[in-house]
Each structure stands twice: as C-alpha cells, then as structure tokens.
C-alpha cells in the first residue's frame, strides 16, 4: 500500500521551500540548514485510544500529530521548517489518509512547514511525526536556567483539554446552551495551538521553558528538576477558560488546570526585570499570558490554594490526569 | 512510564559528539550541521508481527530498527550522525528496553551515531526511528539518474532475508549439519548490515542508487521509474549465498533473490566507464559487489532466465514476497 498513499500525501502536502533539495519520493530527503542556524529536532507519537479517543476524526488526528511536535519546537524557541511522518494504519484507507493530511496541512501551511519524507506501514493506528526547526546558535530555550526569584508564567488557559476529554466521555445532555462550551473544550483537546510565535518571542527573555503536554505540575516539575530549583504556584492565578469554569466546579477545574495534560501551552520562567517586556511582547502577538507563581529555593512544585494553605497534590486523584 | 525508560535509554546510548548541542532530556534536541554539508533525513517504522516475527528478540528489533534507517542513508551516500527514537510498548518493560537499546547501540556505536531524542508511549509494539546524516552539497545519490547503457550492480547477496523468514516459519528439523545455514539466514533477516561505507564510496560514481528493502524487482523498479528507463537482469548473475542455495532449489532461491525484501543491500547503476573503478573501490572496503544487468530503453525490470528466455515475474507467487 505504501506507494499510492505516499503519492497522495505528497500531492496534498506540496509546500515549496528553497531549502528542500530533495523531498518525498527517494530513500531519504536532502535538506539545507541555513548558514548560522542550529537545527532543533523532536519526535512524538500518538497511539489510537491512548493519545486520542478511538472515535477521533482523521482530520483532528492529522492536526494533533503535527501540533504536539510543533509545540516542542515552540518550547525551544525554534521556527519550524520540515517534518517526517511515520503513519501506521490497519488498512490502506485512503479516506482516512485524506482526512489526516487535510488536518496536518491546515496547521503546516501557514507555518510554511514542508513534509519532506515518511513511511506508511500496516499495523495498529499509530502516528509518529518528527519535526525540524531552526534557532540562532546558542539561543534555544531549555528547561534548565530558571533562577530563584524568577516569575513563572503560562500562555493561554489551562485544563481545557482535560475537560474536553471529560466531555467526550460523558453522555451528551440535551442542553443546547452548553453545547458550545463542550465544543470549545473538545476543540482544545483535538486541535491544540502550538505557541510558535510566543516561543520565538521568548528567546533571550525566558530563563527556562517547557510545553504543557503532561500537565502543569509535571511539566513545571521538569523545569524545576533541570534547573535545580523549586516553584510555588498560586491556584487563584491559574488562567482558566470560562467554558471550563462554567461546566465544572472550582475543585474539578483546578485539578484539570494543574494535572490535566494536552493543553500545549508554554510554561516558562522570566527574571523579574524582564517581566513587563515579556507580557507586552506576548500580548502584542495576541497570545494570552499570565503570571502564576515564582521560582524558589528547593525542589518540586508547590501549589497554594485559595485559602492560603498548600494543596496536597500528591494525594490520589491528582495522578489520574497526568 | 516515559521518564524512567528515556533515562535508561539515555544512559545506555551515551555517545559524545561535538555537534550535539543538547541531547535527550529536553523538549527537543539542538544540533549543529557542519558547515558545507547538506542534511539527509529518513524515517522508517517496524511493526510487531509485520516487519519482524512476533518472537523476535528485543536485541534484534533494536538492531533492525536502526539498520533499516541507516540503509536509507547508505542509499543516499550519506554519513550517519544522529537518530530519534519513537518506541511504543504495551507496557513499561525495562527488560525489553534494555535488550532493544543493546541491539541499537551495537550498530550505532561503531558509526558514532548519537541518539539525540525520542518518545516512549504505551500501545502496540511499534518502533519508528528517524536518522540524520550528512552529504556534501549536491552529491547525494538518488533514484533518478540511471542512463541507458549503465551497468546495474548490487552489493552482497540477495534473498537471504526471505530465506531466513522462511526458516523461522518452518518447524526445526533435527539436522545439525544445516543448523548453521539456517542461523546465517535468520541472522541476515534480523541483523541486516547497512552498506554505509559502500554508499559513501558510490558518491560521484553511481548514477542512481536504492536500497533493497522491498525486493530487487520492486526497488530496481523505483530506479527505473525515477530515471525514466528500463532494466534487464540476468538471473544467472544474481549473487546468492551458499546457505540460500544449499537449503533451497534454484527456482525458490531465485524467487527469494528477486522478490524477497529485507536484504538491505544497495542496488545501483554505474556508467560503463566507471565500472572497474567502482568494483575495485567496493572490494577494497570488503563489500561484495556483482554486476547483474544493465539499464535499457523503456520501462520496468525484465529478468532473463538461465535458458535465455524472459521470466514472467508478473505471475502469482512473485507478489507474495514483496
């Protein structure tokens, strides 16, 4: 099946770039990294029924498979250039591939990202995408570098994707007033927006950065571990969408925002001296940004509740969403 | 499960390279392509029970997952540098991962290939590897470029991997004299040798090149299609191992050699004026090389049998091994 599907994918993803010397159709692609740029590469896999519900539309799978990878580039401050696609399908289902490629291209085209190679194989539905981007030498954002006293910020809102998954798992109630809210949350789950422009704006500004794929506690925990610091978060400051707050009580919405994964927002630390500049820069890009806490001595992430007491995030129930 | 397994993989694959600015452990890797080199990238997936028999040892899966990708670099004449690994496993099976990484490293270490990033997910056993190599600008080998009158050559021997798969599917007979032959063939299936040095030697020499992953007829067919030519092969010239010929009659051995995949030898075309040089260069590398036919006008691959008549490779039975 491989050849026909690859030809279909090639036709539908055509994206001219001068730096692609040889694209889809040979044993490998040949690419020219611009002089004076470092290459940033990541790979992420989505498995049917694990990373997306089994009923997810092909167009959403195609979008998300690229989005989760572009989010990794965003977290590094890299600008995207090329992707490789490894698509494993139970059968040579060209309708699925058409939908998948449509979703993939919806996201790829405005970024001028070229699909330069791939492999289609038969097996349980699994999608791996490898993405390649550029960053000026030495200027990639990393998880290390957060310093005591830095502010901790996030883009957008947190917990929407977990609430979207929850919505998919509940029977639909005949409640038209809330259908739009459910759709918004499910859209956040299925079509996450990689924060590429924000990541580029954060070069030379953020001291550490990560994307929120496993949940804020887990991912900010990665910054803490890599930087040798701790972090304190204020529950009252966590940015939560009105859809999330309308459909869930405060405790559930807080759990989704702290422990829910799949939001693909950026979480980053910024020295106090640059805080105003960063907030202004991201706002200018139309990217919401919220200060949620600060970097402290020690290790791990602590969360202060609305009443001022620390929340025990190690208790059962928190683990569930990670 | 992701973090522990990735840490295990990181420790076991440590491979210092100056051009790896940031390796496993962040959202993405940061890499420096040497000045004056083009980047060559490929991705290939192995699925349990499709690309290797279900009983295959983890160490063999690790070797093969890298080997099939390095074979793509070999076919382009590229020298390998970095890899990304997307490993999907039914459970966080650290014994499997240890075996897998051992096989991967057995092949990676002598090539100084660094594993720079990856993703481990839960799901049906599936392995995608993306590899990155370098080639001087404009000197990558491609499938296009074969000209009428060029000789067609292959490295090594053909059909061994198909015979190895056949051996695995047969009940083991109590025949010690042949156990070594079976083991050789199964080894060719499980531990293919990517022809990297040969590929590099063929830069500026071969007019077109492909690796034999889908079978000689299919892969030489790719050269013909991309180059707008046909090819004529002499069955009597096909290099076949003594193990293959000892365990199978001539007709079966010929089918394996023409239609069997997974050999990961190189098939390439060379202008007559360079034939002697290429044969000498590859022999000096210890890489067997055999002229098996020539490029002709027209399209597709024709095979002349021992008696001089054309073999009908479109008949049922040939398709089976592709």
Tens-place pLDDT, residues B116-164: 998 999 999 999 999 999 999 999 999 999 999 999 999 999 999 999 9
C-alpha distances (whole Å) from B125 to each of A56, A124, A296, B46, B167 are 21, 9, 41, 9, 23
CB neighbours of A307 closer than 8 A, spacing ≥ 6? none
d(CA A106, CA A185): 19
Burial of B90: CB neighbours in 10 Å, binned 0-12, 13-18, 19+: exposed
Of B41, B50, B82, the CB nearest to A123: B50
A318 annotated binding-site participant: yes
Please judge whether A32 and B50 are an interchain contact, meaning their C-beta atoms are less than 8 angstroms apart: no
- Mapped to the 3 state alphabet, what secondary structure does chain A carry? CHHHHHHHHHHHCCCCCCCEEECECECCEEECCCCCCEEEEEEEEEEECCCECCCCCHHHHHHHHHHHHHHHHHHHCCEEEEEEEEEEECCCCHHHHHHHHHHHHHHHHHHCCEEEEEEEEECCCEEEEEEEEEECCCCCCCCCCCCCCCEEEEECCCCHHHHHHHHHHCCCCCCHHHHHHHHHHHHHHHCCCCCHHHHHHHCCCCCEEEECCCCHHHHHHHHHHHHCCEEEEEHHHCCCCHHHHHHCCHHHHHHHHHHCCCCCCEEEEECHHHHHHHHHHHHHCCCCEEEEEEEECCCEEEEECCCCCEECCCCCCCHHHC
Provide the token pair at B148.
């009428």
Confidence of residue B321 (pLDDT cuts 50, 70, 90): very low
d(CA A167, CA B178): 61
Predicted local confidence at residue A1, as pLDDT? 47
- State phi, psi for B178 to the nearest 5 degrees: -105, -5
CA distance to partner chain A, nearest, from residue B174 (Å): 35
Provide the token pair at A164.
């979207």
Long-range contacts of A280-283 (CB under 8 A, 24+ apart): A281/A201, A281/A205, A282/A155, A282/A198, A282/A201, A282/A202
d(CA A8, CA A6): 5
Predicted local confidence at residue A322, as pLDDT? 36
CA distance to partner chain B, nearest, from residue A29 (Å): 5
Per-residue pLDDT of chain A (322 residues; tens, 9 = 90+): 456 777 888 888 877 899 999 999 899 999 999 999 999 999 999 999 889 988 899 999 999 999 999 999 999 999 999 999 999 999 888 899 999 999 999 999 999 999 999 899 999 999 999 999 999 999 999 999 999 999 999 999 999 999 999 999 887 776 777 888 999 999 999 999 999 999 999 999 999 999 999 999 999 999 999 999 999 999 999 999 999 999 999 999 999 999 988 999 999 999 999 999 999 999 999 999 999 999 999 999 999 998 889 998 776 545 444 3
For residues A76 and A196, the answer to whether their CB atoms sit within 8 Å is no
Burial of A213: CB neighbours in 10 Å, binned 0-12, 13-18, 19+: buried
Residues β-bridged to residue B209: B268
Please judge whether A27 and B135 are an interchain contact, meaning their C-beta atoms are less than 8 angstroms apart: no
B150 annotated binding-site participant: no
Mutation to test the A interface, candidates B42, B122, B128, B211, most A Cβ within 10 Å: B128
Provide the token pair at B33.
């392509």
CA distance to partner chain B, nearest, from residue A139 (Å): 10
Of A88, A128, A211, the CB nearest to B27: A211
d(CA B218, CA B220): 6
Residues of chain A contacting residue B30, judged by C-beta atoms under 8 Å apart: 38-40, 76, 135, 140
Predicted local confidence at residue A296, as pLDDT? 98
Residue the block writes with tokens 């690790």: B62
Interval B285-289 mean pLDDT = 96
Question: Which H or E run includes B7?
Answer: helix B2-12
For residues B5 and B25, the answer to whether their CB atoms sit within 8 Å is no
Query: How confident is the prediction for chain A on average, in pLDDT?
Result: 92
Residues of chain B contacting residue A82, judged by C-beta atoms under 8 Å apart: 41
Residue B120 three-state SS: strand
Residues of chain B contacting residue A84, judged by C-beta atoms under 8 Å apart: 41-43, 130
A118 annotated binding-site participant: yes
B27 annotated binding-site participant: yes
d(CA B58, CA B52): 11
Count of Cβ atoms closer than 10 Å to residue B288 Cβ = 15
A281 annotated binding-site participant: no
Residues of chain A contacting residue B21, judged by C-beta atoms under 8 Å apart: 38, 138, 140
Burial of A203: CB neighbours in 10 Å, binned 0-12, 13-18, 19+: middle
Query: How confident is the prediction for chain B on average, in pLDDT?
Result: 92
Please judge whether B44 and A122 are an interchain contact, meaning their C-beta atoms are less than 8 angstroms apart: no
Of B29, B43, B211, the CB nearest to A117: B43
Residues of chain B contacting residue A119, judged by C-beta atoms under 8 Å apart: 43-45, 128
Predicted local confidence at residue A178, as pLDDT? 83
Pairs across A and B, CB distance < 8 A: 194
C-alpha distances (whole Å) from B273 to each of B138, B145, B199, B203, B295 are 22, 15, 19, 15, 14
CA distance to partner chain B, nearest, from residue A106 (Å): 22
d(CA A108, CA B142): 26
CB neighbours of B183 closer than 8 A, spacing ≥ 6? none
Provide the token pair at A14.
């055509």
Tens-place pLDDT, residues B30-48: 999 999 999 999 999 999 9
Provide the token pair at B185.
């063939």
Tens-place pLDDT, residues B74-112: 999 999 999 999 999 998 888 999 999 999 999 999 999
ipTM: 0.93
Mutation to test the B interface, candidates A24, A25, A26, most B Cβ within 10 Å: A26
Residues of chain B contacting residue A138, judged by C-beta atoms under 8 Å apart: 21
Residues of chain B contacting residue A142, judged by C-beta atoms under 8 Å apart: 22, 26
d(CA B236, CA B248): 16
Nearest residue on chain A to B74, judged by CA atoms? A27
C-alpha distances (whole Å) from B114 to each of A273, B105, B120, B200 are 39, 9, 17, 19
Of B28, B118, B133, the CB nearest to A78: B28
Q: Which domains does chain A have, with CATH numbers?
A: 2-135 (3.30.1330.10), 151-321 (3.90.650.10)
Residues β-bridged to residue B211: B266
CA distance to partner chain B, nearest, from residue A128 (Å): 7
Sheet holding B79-89, edge to edge: A20-22, A29-31, B38-47, B126-135, B79-89, B114-122
d(CA A179, CA A94): 32
Residue B303 three-state SS: strand
Nearest residue on chain A to B138, judged by CA atoms? A21
Tens-place pLDDT, residues B232-276: 999 999 999 999 999 999 999 999 999 988 999 999 999 999 999
For residues B58 and B96, the answer to whether their CB atoms sit within 8 Å is yes
Residues of chain B contacting residue A35, judged by C-beta atoms under 8 Å apart: 35
d(CA A131, CA A209): 18
Question: Which H or E run includes B73?
Answer: helix B58-76
d(CA A17, CA A114): 7
């Amino acid at each position: 099946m491989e050849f026909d599907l690859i030809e279909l994918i090639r036709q539908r993803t055509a994206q001219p770039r001068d730096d692609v010397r040889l694209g889809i159709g040979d044993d490998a692609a040949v690419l020219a990294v611009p002089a004076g740029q470092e290459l940033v590469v990541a790979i992420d896999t989505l498995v049917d029924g694990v990373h997306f519900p089994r009923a997810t539309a092909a167009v959403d799978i195609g979008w998300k498979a690229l989005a989760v990878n572009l989010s990794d580039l965003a977290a590094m401050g890299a600008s995207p250039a090329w992707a490789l696609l490894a698509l494993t399908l139970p059968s040579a289902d060209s309708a699925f591939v058409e939908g998948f490629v449509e979703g993939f291209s919806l996201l790829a085209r405005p970024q001028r990202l070229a699909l330069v190679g791939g492999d289609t194989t038969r097996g349980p539905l699994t999608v791996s995408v490898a993405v390649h981007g550029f960053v000026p030498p030495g200027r990639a954002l990393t998880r290390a570098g957060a310093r005591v006293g830095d502010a901790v910020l996030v883009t957008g809102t947190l917990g929407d994707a977990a609430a979207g998954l929850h919505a998919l798992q509940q029977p639909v109630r005949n409640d038209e007033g809330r259908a739009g809210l459910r759709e918004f949350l499910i859209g956040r789950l299925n079509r996450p927006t990689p924060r590429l422009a924000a990541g580029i704006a954060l070069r030379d500004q953020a001291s550490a950065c990560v994307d929120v794929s496993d949940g804020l506690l887990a991912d900010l925990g990665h910054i803490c571990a890599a930087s040798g610091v701790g972090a304190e978060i204020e529950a009252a400051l966590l940015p939560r969408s009105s859809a999330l707050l309308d459909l869930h009580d405060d405790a559930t919405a807080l759990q989704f925002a702290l422990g829910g994964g799949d939001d693909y927002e950026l979480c980053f630390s910024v020295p106090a001296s640059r805080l105003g500049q960063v907030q202004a820069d991201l706002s200018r890009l139309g990217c919401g940004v919220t200060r949620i806490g600060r970097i402290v001595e020690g290790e791990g992430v602590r969360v202060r509740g609305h009443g001022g007491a620390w929340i025990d995030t190690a208790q059962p129930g928190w683990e569930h969403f990670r």
